[in-house]
């Protein structure tokens, strides 16, 4: 169940997302571990999904409780996208959630600089008890906007050269991102590459990129279009 509204507090708008689902202790452990690791790496959910080469943002859907269960294959894919090779860095959350599924309520509060994620357990009378709370930087808050422009320009130059000279077959997001990281000394993130790729697929001139999505597995690639 998803709901979103805006609240005016202290002259500033806070966007609050409310998500509810039945979760088990195992579900909560996986949710906490993924969110903590993702936030520690500085990635937004859609950036992790992008690196995994998935279009439907399963990481974001999982954190919004729209996708309760997650397979071990998907979990290992998330860890790999975050640069981890095993479950060794995956931190489990200890909680006294009872055996079986319990109704949980995720509240996401978006402030100017931070996003707060709070998971609550609802008891039989509807009272809420905090299970965990995490904070991350709001990616929409850009303290140094000129630095962001510099990164976009650098990536555009790298990918324009690649598009002209060396794009013979469709490329996966991770391949594109790693290529950009290799050729720049700037501290770029997947979101910077995502923005440039979006611009390159919306061009009216050629050559340009075409965004492709396979019917199997929702995998995405970017293909050169010459005319």
Q: Is the pLDDT of residue 126 over 90?
A: no
- Comparing 53 with 24, which gets the higher pLDDT? 53
Mean pLDDT value across residues 124-145: 90
Instruction: Return the pLDDT at 29.
Output: 87
Q: Which two tokens stand for residue 39?
A: 């936030």
Calpha distance 208→224 (Å, rounded) = 6
Instruction: Return the pLDDT at 11.
Output: 46
Domains in the chain, CATH or no CATH each: 2-137 (1.10.260.40), 145-225 (1.10.10)
Q: Are 209 and 224 in contact (CB under 8 A)?
A: yes
* pLDDT, the chain, mean: 88
Q: Is the pLDDT of residue 153 over 90?
A: yes
Could you list the beta-strand ranges (E) of 36-193: 102-110, 114-122, 128-137
Mean pLDDT value across residues 133-154: 94
Instruction: Return the pLDDT at 10.
Output: 47
When pLDDT is cut at 50, 70 and 90, the band that residue 215 belongs to is: low
pLDDT tens column, 73-123: 899 999 999 988 777 766 666 666 666 788 999 999 998 899 999 999 988
Residue 113, beta-bridge partner list: none
- Comparing 50 with 55, which gets the higher pLDDT? 50
Q: Is the pLDDT of residue 1 over 60?
A: no
When pLDDT is cut at 50, 70 and 90, the band that residue 6 belongs to is: low
Instruction: Return the pLDDT at 40.
Output: 94
Q: Which two tokens stand for residue 201?
A: 């697929």
Calpha distance 199→115 (Å, rounded) = 27
Mean pLDDT value across residues 29-52: 94
How far from each other are the two terminal CA atoms of the chain, in whole angstroms? 44
Greatest Cα-to-Cα distance within the chain, rounded to the nearest angstrom: 64
Q: Is the pLDDT of residue 12 over 90?
A: no
Calpha distance 48→50 (Å, rounded) = 5
Please report, to the nearest 10 degrees, the dihedral formed by the alpha carbons of residues 125, 129, 134, 138 taken in order: 40
* Cis geometry, peptide bond prior to residue 226 (ω within 30 degrees of 0): no
Mean pLDDT value across residues 172-178: 97
Instruction: Return the pLDDT at 55.
Output: 86
Calpha distance 224→209 (Å, rounded) = 5
pLDDT tens column, 157-169: 999 999 998 899 9
Q: Which two tokens stand for residue 135?
A: 């904070």
Task: List the single range of 11-15, 16-20, 157-161 with lowest mean pLDDT.
Answer: 11-15
Mean pLDDT value across residues 174-183: 97
């Amino acid at each position: 169940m998803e709901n979103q509204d805006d609240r005016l507090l202290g002259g500033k708008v806070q966007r609050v997302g409310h998500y509810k689902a039945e979760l088990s202790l195992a579900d909560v452990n996986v949710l906490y571990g993924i969110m903590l690791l993702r936030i520690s790496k500085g990635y937004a959910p859609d950036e992790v999904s992008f690196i995994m080469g998935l279009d439907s943002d399963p990481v974001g859907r999982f954190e919004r409780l729209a996708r309760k269960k997650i397979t071990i294959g998907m979990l290992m894919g998330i860890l790999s996208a975050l640069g981890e090779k095993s479950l060794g860095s995956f931190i489990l959350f200890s909680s006294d959630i009872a055996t079986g599924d319990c109704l949980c309520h995720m509240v996401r509060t978006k402030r100017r600089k931070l996003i707060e994620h709070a998971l609550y357990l609802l008891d039989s009378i509807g009272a809420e008890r905090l299970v965990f709370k995490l904070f991350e930087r709001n990616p929409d808050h850009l303290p140094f906007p000129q630095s962001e422009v510099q990164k976009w320009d650098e990536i555009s130059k790298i990918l324009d050269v690649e598009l002209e000279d060396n794009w013979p077959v469709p490329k996966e997001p991770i391949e594109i991102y790693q290529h950009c990281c290799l050729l720049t000394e700037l501290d770029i993130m997947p979101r910077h590459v995502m923005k440039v790729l979006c611009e390159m697929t919306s061009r009216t001139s050629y050559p340009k990129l075409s965004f492709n999505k396979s019917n199997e597995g929702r995998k995405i690639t970017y293909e050169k279009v010459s005319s």
